Chain A
Amino acid sequence: MNAEPMNLTGTPIPAKKGEILLSVENVSLRFGGVKAISGVSFDIRKGEVRAIIGPNGAGKTSMLNCINGFYHPQEGQITYKGVRRARMKPHQAAAAGIARTFQNVALFKGMSTLDNIMTGRTLKMRRGFFWQALRQGPAMAEEIEHRKVVEDIIDFLQIEHIRKLPVGKLPYGLQKRVELGRALAMEPELLLLDEPMAGMNLEEKEDMCRFILDVNNQFGTTIALIEHDMGVVMDLSDRVVVLEYGRKIADGTPDEVKQDQKVIDAYLGVAH
């Protein structure tokens, strides 16, 4: 370390330039007469952090809901891992490796952190209900296996101290972290985060940013996130897609997006 300080290598992970993991083509979504999304197209590449931003009501959460099969767009198509999807149910999306967290924390409030994250392993359980209830022999062995994964996640997210506390008692910032933990427990390929930093203070935000970057870096997980904090978005993401009133108005690297006049008008220039 003599004269010259050590540096981060600085080179982006090759996977980020890799193939397209998910592509959205011309998707439109209507609720009755209300057009939530109209003709939006973009793609998410393997290993990148992709941000979806836009003013309130721009259709960001609807977009995520389309991606993980909760809503079914009337027009357009979504191709995930090269497979064009017809009407897909959320659990099928989950089985295919798409995990998500919610804008409003959706955890089992009465259950402990550990149990909540354990539920993220549900799809990976091989033994049926009967065996698990018995909790003997092979079911026990399997549970131990899953517990190991869960403990790794607890360690990763540094939530050892709340392992056994019911999540309903936890502060909001920690609940968000537990929710991320549950999503990670699925070992997803694509992680959808809906406002992971909403309602957090600066320190919690910084922690959460660190975790998101670490997830991306350590597990190579592709991440699509919705976020309002522009600083966070510009720091975290590799590419940003901007929506307004259900339409895409810009798509590119944070720097490109920042300089786009339409974006400035629609979003950045307006105080929120």
Chain B
Amino acid sequence: MNKEVGTGPEEGCCNVRQPDRENATVASATAGQADTFPKLLMRNARERGSRTAYRHKDLGIWQSWNWAEMAEQVRAYARGLQELGLKRGEKVAIIGYNRPRLYWSMCAAQWLGAIPVPVYADSVADEMAYVLDHAEAVFACVQDQEQVDKVLSIADRLPRLRTMLYDESRGLRDYDHAKLHDIGRVIEAGAKALKANSAASAGLDREMEAGTGSDLAVILYTSGTTGRPKGVMLSHYNVITAAEIGCQFDGLNEEDEVIAYLPIAWVGDHVFSYAQAIVAGFCVNCPEGPETVIDDRREVGTTYAFAPPRVFENMLTITMVRMEDAGPLMRKMFHFFLGVAKKHGEKILNGEPVPLGARLLYKLGDALIYAPLRNRFGLTSIKVGYTAGEAIGPEIFRFYRSIGVNLKQLYGQTEAGVYITMQPNGEIRADTVGRPAPLVEIKLDENGEVLYRSPSIFGGYYKDPEKTAETMTADGYVRSGDAGFFDETGHLKIIDRAKDVGKLNSGELFPPKYIENKLKFYPNIKEAVAFGQGRDYATVALNIDLTAVGNWAERNNVVYASYQELAGHDLVYDMIAKHIDEVNKSLASEPAMGGAQVKRFLILHKELDADDGELTRTQKVRRGFIAERYAPLVNALYDGSREADISTEVTFEDGRKGVISARVKVRDAKTYPATAPERPDAARAA
């Protein structure tokens, strides 16, 4: 295995980011002899057999299995699968919520050289049928009746599927068990067979020995926002390397505890809750159910956590709402110490100098507020927590850091085996995704698209060489599809999906989502739609947040009767103008973003609504549709007029339709000269 990464002499200049030298040696002592997950499992059984491997809260009690027990179970399971006729190279679909036996199903399949294909349990039947059929799954290991029913409902489209296994038997008693098996029984039968037949036992171990690191370990289907899901093929070597990158970067070891609650089909969960656990030997805790995660996390006291931003947002919102019900003394104390944390907390966590008085005050706050808060969140023992998937609001990010939770961001993709960039300790900022992860090389192409290369990148899309060729360059880089740039400190910032990044008439970059996100981080702004593709300058149409602005209006004696009236208020415009000014300042200071400053803006007279087709059901703005629907307003943004009339048809919740007309004001915003150097990292000749 590559201990030192190649120096990448080709574009030796600034456009290729070298991984940190001292980080480049990823410990790979294990990979020498144990190059597959089943082999690593047996190593764990030998070296740390009595340490807990998996826990599952069932019937109100944490049931646990140590590595020796898990190895025994997986081995028996593999034998059971062998008896059911599973062969090397065949695919096994894994469907369900995070359960130890589903993770073991992956390992047992890998033992025999079969390839697990985790599938999103909540995907609709049609999508599941596509994935199972495309993957040519012959076995399916599912959690319970719900999934059994779902697979049965599409069984006629899956001629290859031979056998189904389930973890929870409830409700399945009367099903035809000719091709349906209880995982528990399969394991029992396997154990019995191994005991009775030593030749079978030796044969099984030979199967495991026959596996090598270059074998396909897993196929992970990307959720695919556009088109059909694609099957990302990762070898044992890829996944083990990815796991080692993460373990080494954050010093994870067998003492760590994680909670497995994200979809098992997602690469993050596969690496965190399966690969890293086996590589580093730490313990994976499976909660009782999706609703109990927060409580279960608190009981376990995880040391390493991963969550998409919305999880952190939710926890914070719940806390804030509950604090409103607390007694006045409590509330005062809470807000006072949060203020202290906001001022000094992050600096203390980053090890920056802080005056003694502030340090003492923070200590007091820690005893009274922060520690109990962390306890509530189940983050008391957290060593490092990650958020990824989408942009996290800087306020939320800083909040957690200020109360002493080492929250970081990373940028990853399934094709990379997760890690592309990560934030090293002491270099954590809300607006970047960090430096290239160990062993990862990154370059940017002329459109600002991020390309990366590492030992953990995938071997291609399953049965789709065309897409593979589109994604992988000749020199082994993978196109991420995301546009980004490196800031002056060497941190990567992701702007948007590369195909969404447009150009102004001047040829300067116009990243709509990036501008919108910056605006939406202000609590007063609920939605933002940026225009500018093929235009002379960038403009935005906004929705104010009625709760936040309404609250502000009350405190400032601004009288209003409706959203429309409040949105058109001059003082509201003044307030929003200030936010836009700040966004422009920040855009001006960023490389390549100076041209995308907002020149003119307006506040829409109605809230954008999915019922009117303006938002998707997942609350994303449909830019094109909005531009069409509000054409008079968009024109006004560009023809210099001060106001514009508009009338739009709206659909009320009961399905009735009506028309809202309004005169909407348009304001100019101040722009700043770009201060940052023009795209220092852009590859001029890629």
Using a CB–CB distance below 8 Å, which chain A residues touch chain B? 1-3, 5-9, 13, 147-148, 151-152, 154-156, 158, 160-161, 163, 210, 213-214, 217-218
A-B contacts, 16 listed (Cβ < 8 Å): A1-B162, A5-B156, A6-B178, A9-B174, A151-B59, A152-B59, A154-B59, A158-B289, A160-B291, A160-B292, A161-B288, A161-B289, A213-B171, A217-B173, A218-B171, A218-B173
Are B155 and A5 within 8 A (Cβ)? yes
**Distance from A41 Cβ to chain B, minimum over Cβ atoms (Å):** 32
Are B292 and A161 within 8 A (Cβ)? yes
Known: A1-B155, A1-B161, A161-B292. A217 touches B180 (CB 8 A): no
Are B174 and A1 within 8 A (Cβ)? no
Known: A2-B159, A5-B156, A160-B288. A155 touches B175 (CB 8 A): no
Known: A6-B155, A151-B59. A1 touches B164 (CB 8 A): yes
Binary contact readout B159-195 vs A (1 if CB under 8 angstroms, 0 otherwise) = 1011110000011011110111000000000000000
Are B179 and A1 within 8 A (Cβ)? yes
Known: A160-B289, A218-B170. A154 touches B60 (CB 8 A): yes
Report the bound CA distance from A154 to B288 in whole Å: 11
Using a CB–CB distance below 8 Å, which chain B residues touch chain A? 57-61, 152, 155-156, 158-159, 161-164, 170-171, 173-176, 178-180, 288-289, 291-292, 295
Partner of A5, one of B60, B152, B162, B170: B152
Report the bound CA distance from A108 to B627 in whole Å: 56
Report the bound CA distance from A7 to B170 in whole Å: 17
Residue pairs across A and B with CB atoms within 8 Å: the count is 63
Known: A6-B179, A161-B288. A214 touches B170 (CB 8 A): yes
User: What chain B residues lie within 8 Å of A13 (beta carbons)?
Assistant: 174
Are B289 and A6 within 8 A (Cβ)? no
Are A9 and B175 within 8 A (Cβ)? yes
Are A8 and B155 within 8 A (Cβ)? no
Name the residue of chain A whose CB is nearest to the CB of B149. A8
Name the residue of chain B whose CB is nearest to the CB of A155. B59
Question: 17 additional contacts, CB 8 Å, given A6-B175, A152-B59?
Answer: A1-B155, A2-B159, A2-B162, A3-B159, A6-B180, A7-B176, A8-B174, A9-B174, A9-B175, A154-B59, A158-B289, A160-B60, A163-B60, A214-B170, A217-B173, A218-B171, A218-B173
Are B156 and A8 within 8 A (Cβ)? no
User: What chain B residues lie within 8 Å of A3 (beta carbons)?
Assistant: 159
User: What chain B residues lie within 8 Å of A8 (beta carbons)?
Assistant: 174-176
Known: A160-B289, A161-B291, A161-B292. A217 touches B155 (CB 8 A): no
**Distance from B408 Cβ to chain A, minimum over Cβ atoms (Å):** 29
User: What chain B residues lie within 8 Å of A148 (beta carbons)?
Assistant: 59
Partner of A156, one of B152, B170, B292: B170
Known: A148-B59, A151-B59. A6 touches B152 (CB 8 A): yes
**Distance from A266 Cβ to chain B, minimum over Cβ atoms (Å):** 33
**Distance from B297 Cβ to chain A, minimum over Cβ atoms (Å):** 13
Are A9 and B176 within 8 A (Cβ)? yes
Report the bound CA distance from A103 to B58 in whole Å: 31
Are A217 and B179 within 8 A (Cβ)? no
Are B60 and A151 within 8 A (Cβ)? yes
